[in-house]
Structure 1
Amino acid sequence: MIAQDAWTAMFHSAAGTLDADEDGTPIMPGGWRESVLRSMLPHVLPDLQPVDALQEILRRREKGYGWAELQTGVQFAAGRRSRNGRNLTTAVRSLGAAQETGGAR
């Protein structure tokens, strides 16, 4: 649950720093914010391409409506991201246990 909350907070932080150029085209932030958005956007707004999803997020943030409806997608994406980390941890632990068992023979 903590990992899901962390992913949710990171998404909100990344979305909160979105900006647009003079013609209204969203500018993808750099660093970890870009990674978070690129990994979560396909699950937050699955019917939109990344640039369109960024425009939709900007629109909702600026207009002040539709943000609550977006939260279901954010929670789903955060849950997927947190499970990925858990699955990787489980796989690494299993591999380590298998190597310990194999090395003890």
Structure 2
Amino acid sequence: MRFRLAANSIGRRDRRVTSLGVGAFAAIVLLCCVQRAVALPLTPFRYEAQAQRHCAGDPVVWLDFRRGRYYRKGQSRYARGFDGSYVCSKEARESGYRRSLFGLR
């Protein structure tokens, strides 16, 4: 009986060490990923002229906050809707918004 108890306690200790190692590894990976996932500042403008002055060389796009997409000038949904504003295309891309897949319409 004593041999079995000793063997069981060794097995439990090994499991604890293994679970601590996996937990520490997961924490390190999580911390590395969290540092990179930082939201970039987005400067929305009410008027297109304001955005053009701010963007200097970068095209202005219409950002639809509800859909999470941006539209370029000439697309059918450019400057449409109440849940959007004008932003620089580079800022929209870096903030995680996607371009419209419909192209020019």
**TM-score, normalised relative to structure 2:** 0.34
Q: Which has the higher contact order (CA 8 A, sep 6+)?
A: 1
The structure with the largest helix share of the pair is 1
TM-score by length of 1: 0.34
Larger Rg: 2
Greater strand fraction, Structure 1 or Structure 2: 2
